[in-house]
Structure 1
Amino acid sequence: MIPEDNGRLPHLTPRQFRRTVAWFIARRPGGSIAGALQYRHQRIQMFEGCAGTSESGFRDEVEAEEAFARGQFLAEMGADDDRPALTGPVGAEAEARLAELARHTVFDGQVVTDEARPRRIVARHDTHLYPGTFVTCIYSPDRALCRTPVGPAGQPVLADCQPLACRNTALTSANREALAAHLAQLDGM
């Protein structure tokens, strides 16, 4: 629902609607590519300009949101002693990485006021766990099937994930529920 402005609905132009839709598409995994195809742009940068110009730092904004969501996921997983165990080829390794992260990120009674300290903690103790809807990647570059020789080695390329064959795969209870729901949806078609 579009909120009222001074007691009446604002006049929404097609340009504003198109940019709003582009913004939401761009925030999805692989959204910049999908949006460029949908909007029939010659380059991804054109779509990013439509979604919120590249010069304005839109790509950085999306990456920061993804990093924040990943950090929240890891903090919750590491702090939850009653969490269901991660299963799959690297479930035990994932549990060990989470335990190590929890050991280094315990609240010691001090409030962190300098921005560099959290970055140092994450850089030093990064678990390389990347949550997804259907699978959680416990990234190790030597085992990764999604990694290309020219791509960055520091993180997975989740768009090229091969969870049935990759040995970096772990499943949370939420992953198993999403898989079951999607399978039920496919069976109903």
Structure 2
Amino acid sequence: MSAFEFVFTFYSVMLGLAAANVGTGFADMWRDRRATEVGVCAPLLASIVLVATMNLWLRFWRSWEGVEVGPWALITLVAFALPLVFLSRAMFPGAGSTTSLEDHFFQHRRVMLAALAATPGFSLIWNAAQGILTPEWPSLWLVIRFAAPLALMVLTGRTANRLGLVALLIWVLVGLFR
């Protein structure tokens, strides 16, 4: 097994866990839709996490040539993936909760948006440390991906957060094809 295959397997398991949590969350939303109001923000946030997970996987796949096995590689990958794993669980209230998913989002939105900003924030730090943070499209995409959730933390209105999440979902979808 090559170094890339070894590290990629570990990273894929972490990202797969985030994706599986989102899939389970969608199933729970559908199953409990009559008892618990779903709203708009939870499905949008779940979609953003799913697409962000795909973005991370594709980005890592493209960087296979320089991958080395070691503690720093694993720590870095955990820093990238763990916020999405956390968010994929935290965005849904626990079983038996009667709180609507929309209310749950607004009660905990700052923590969830901070977790959403953490992965691109770590990527910016990593890119800066590697000397690859440039004023070109990949870096611009990453800066906006980091700044958008932080901007949403300041906005308290439901409409502003919904529109911001829609814009962020479109942005991460654009990034999937960059």
Q: Which of the pair has more CA radius of gyration? A: 1
Structure having the larger proportion of residues in helix:
2
Task: Compute the TM-score of the two structures, normalised by the length of structure 1.
Answer: 0.28
Q: Which has the higher contact order (CA 8 A, sep 6+)?
A: 2
Length-normalised TM-score, structure 2: 0.29
